[in-house]
Amino acid sequence: MSQALQQNGHIKMVRHPYMLSKAQELIPDLWHHDILPHAIVSAQPDSQQIHGWRANVVNTRDEFFQHDLAQGEHVIIDFGQHCVGYLEFACEAVGSPPDAPAHLQFIFGETLPEVVEPFSEYNGWLSSSWLQQQDCYLDELPNRTRLPRRYCCRYLRINVVALSRKFQLRFTSLKLDTVTSASLANLPAYNSADHPLTRIDDVAVKTLKNCMQVVFEDGPKRDRRLWLGDLRLQALVNDVTVKNYALVKRCLYLFAAMTREDGMVSANIFVKPQVIADDTFLFDYALFFVDVLQEYVAATHDNATLADLWPVAWRQIELAMERVAENGIVRDSNDWWSFIDWHEDLNKQAASQGVLIYCLNKALELVRTYDSSKVTWLEAQIATLKSAALRELWDQKSGFFVSGSARQISCASQVWMVLADIGTPESQRQLLAKLQSHPPEIQMNTPYMMHHYVAALLQVNEREQATQEIKRYWGAMVEHGADTFWELFDPQRPDFSPYGSKLINSYCHAWSCTPSWFIRKYQL
C-alpha cells in the first residue's frame, strides 16, 4: 500500500513503502583504498592550459612530511589522480609547547583553479556551499584527525591560518581514504593497439568508479544525487565493465519509491538522511525510466523486478502521451519541461519527440515478451508519432528537422530524430553527414549530448566517424590532463559553465563515462 500524500514544496508526492524496502535491501558495501600524496606543487598562471594554471612540482611526499609550516604558509598537495573519500592526517607541534590551537583551512579541488582562485570571487547561481573547503581547529597537539565530510579532489590546499608564534606545525601522516561501491577486481580486460582509445577507456572506467557510491551519483563533488538521465548512461557502462547490476536495480526501485501524485517519477532522488524525490520533473528523464528498465532486464533477465516496476514504467508512457497534441507532436512550453542538453537557447520540442519515440520502442521490446496486449497499441502510436515528425518537423528547404514555433535548427533535434529511427537508414546517414558539413548555430554543449551523437553515428553504422568523434572530444579532455571526464567541455570556451562559474562545474561526471560502452560494446 502507498502511504498518505506528502507535501514536497507545492507538489504532492506519494511514498511507496514496498518499493523503498526493496531499494534499501540493496544498499551496497563500499570498497576502501588509501591514496597518499603524490607531490607538493606550486600553481603558475599559464594561458596555454585549458583552465589557465600549470602545476609545478616543488617537493616530494617525503619532503612534505619533513617540512615545518608557520602561520600564513600554505602547501598544495597533488594526489596524482582524482579521488573521492575522507581526509585523514596527523600533525605535531615543533618548537615550544603549543600554547594556542592550530587553525587550518583545507581546500579541495578536482582542478587546480579550485585551490588557487579565491572562493570569495565566486559569482555562480548554484550555492557556494558546494565549494569544497573546511576549517579545522586543533586544540591539542600532537593530533590525529579524520574530517567527517567526504570530499572529491586531485588537489588539496592546506592553509595554516593561525598558530602561536612559539611553535610551527609538522604533518606526520596524511592520506585520503577513498570509497566506491565499484569493485574493479574482475573488470573485463580491454586490449587495443589503439593507445588513445585505451587511455580514453581507462579514464571513462575511473569516472564511473568514482561516481559509484551508495547510488550511481551524477557527480561525487556536486549534487551527489541519483539523476535518471545520468543513471541511464552509467548503467550502460556498468553492463560492459563493473557489472554491479544490484546497484542498477536499487536505483530503479528508488525512483519508484516516491512519485508525484499522478505517478510521474522525479528527475532525481536524495538518499540521505532519508529517501526524498526532488520536485524537479522532466519529460525526457521520466521516460528514461523505461529505457533503464529495458536495458536492465535485457542484461539480467530479472523478470521479478520487471513485474514490480513495469506499472511504474507504463505510467511514464501514459503521462508522456498526454502531452502529445492533436497534430501528433509533443507540446512545447517555455518552462524547464525537458532537459536534452545544457543550452539556454535550445528548443526542446523536436528532440523530445525523438525521446518519446525512442522510449516507446524500448517499451515495445519489453511488452513483446511480458505484456503482449500492449503490442498493437504501441506499434500504432510509434507509427503515428513518426509520421507526425516527418510531416510537421521536417523542413525540405534546409534539409533539417526544425523545433518550436521559431522552427529552430539544432544538433540535438537531428540526433534524436535519428535515434528515434525517423526516415530510412540512408536518409539518417545523410542527415548526420549534413550535420557535420553544415553545423547549426545551436551546437552540443555537454558530453551527455555528445553521447547521443556518437550513438546516432553507430546506429547508422558510421563506426569510423564515431571513433573519430570519441577521440576528438573525450580524447581532448585526456590531452588536457583529465583522469576523469568532465560534466562540461567546450574546447572553444574553456570557462563555459551553465552555473556562472567553472569553479562549481563537476570534473568527474556520470554522463561523461560512456566512451567505455561504445569502445567495448562495439569493439572500436
Q: How many CB atoms lie within 10 A of CB 472?
A: 12
CA neighbor of 184 nearest in space, from 154, 204, 214: 204
- The share of the chain scoring above pLDDT 90, in percent, equals 94
Q: pLDDT-derived band of residue 478, with 50, 70 and 90 as boundaries? A: very high
Per-residue DSSP letters for 263-322?
SPBPSEEE-SSS-EE-S---HHHHHHHHHHHHHHHHHH--HHHHHHHHHHHHHHHHHHHT
The conformation of residue 98, written as its DSSP 8-state character, comes to P
* Range 372-381 average pLDDT: 97
* Range 398-427 average pLDDT: 98
Angle at the Cα of 395 from the Cα atoms of 389 and 400, rounded to 5 degrees: 85
pLDDT on residue 254: 98
Amino acid at residue number 452: H
- The span from the CA of 497 to the CA of 127, in Å, is 14
Amino acid at residue number 365: E
CA 431 from chain centre, in angstroms, equals 28
pLDDT on residue 313: 98
Per-residue DSSP letters for 21-68?
HHHHTTPPP-EEEEE---EEEEEEE-TTSTTSEEEEEEEEHHHHHT--
- What would the pLDDT profile of 417-442 be if each residue is shown by its tens digit? 999 999 999 999 999 999 999 999 99
Per-residue DSSP letters for 211-249?
HBSSSB-S-TTTT-SEEHHHHHHHHHHHHHTT--HHHHH
- The structural domains of the chain, ordered by start, are 33-180 (2.60.120.260)
pLDDT on residue 192: 83
Across all residues in the chain, what is the average pLDDT?
A: 96
User: Which sign, positive or negative, has the C-alpha torsion 458, 352, 439, 506?
Assistant: negative
Tell me whether strands 258-260 and 133-138 are parallel, antiparallel or unpaired.
unpaired
pLDDT on residue 76: 98
Q: Are 57 and 41 in contact (CB under 8 A)?
A: yes
pLDDT on residue 185: 86
CA neighbor of 483 nearest in space, from 79, 149, 58: 79
pLDDT on residue 189: 86
pLDDT on residue 2: 59
Q: Residue 198 pLDDT more than 80?
A: yes
Burial 139-148 (b: 16+ CB within 10 A, else e): eebebeeeee
Cβ partners under 8 Å of residue 272, min gap 6: none
Q: pLDDT-derived band of residue 184, with 50, 70 and 90 as boundaries? A: confident
User: Which sign, positive or negative, has the C-alpha torsion 64, 109, 121, 486?
Assistant: positive
CA 416 from chain centre, in angstroms, equals 20
- How far CA 200 is from CA of 23, 31, 78, 211, 253, in Å, comes to 33, 24, 22, 17, 32
* Range 99-116 average pLDDT: 97
First to last CA, the chain: 48
- The span from the CA of 514 to the CA of 446, in Å, is 12
Q: Residue 10 pLDDT more than 90?
A: no
CA 396 from chain centre, in angstroms, equals 36
- What would the pLDDT profile of 22-36 be if each residue is shown by its tens digit? 999 999 999 999 999
Q: Residue 8 pLDDT more than 80?
A: no
Comparing 3 with 469, the larger pLDDT belongs to: 469
Name the one residue in this structure whose C-alpha cell is 521536417: 394
pLDDT on residue 491: 80
pLDDT on residue 4: 54
- The span from the CA of 501 to the CA of 124, in Å, is 5
Name the one residue in this structure whose C-alpha cell is 528537422: 401
- What would the pLDDT profile of 293-327 be if each residue is shown by its tens digit? 999 999 999 999 999 999 999 999 999 999 999 99
- How far CA 241 is from CA of 28, 30, 181, 524, in Å, comes to 17, 17, 13, 15
* Range 495-522 average pLDDT: 95
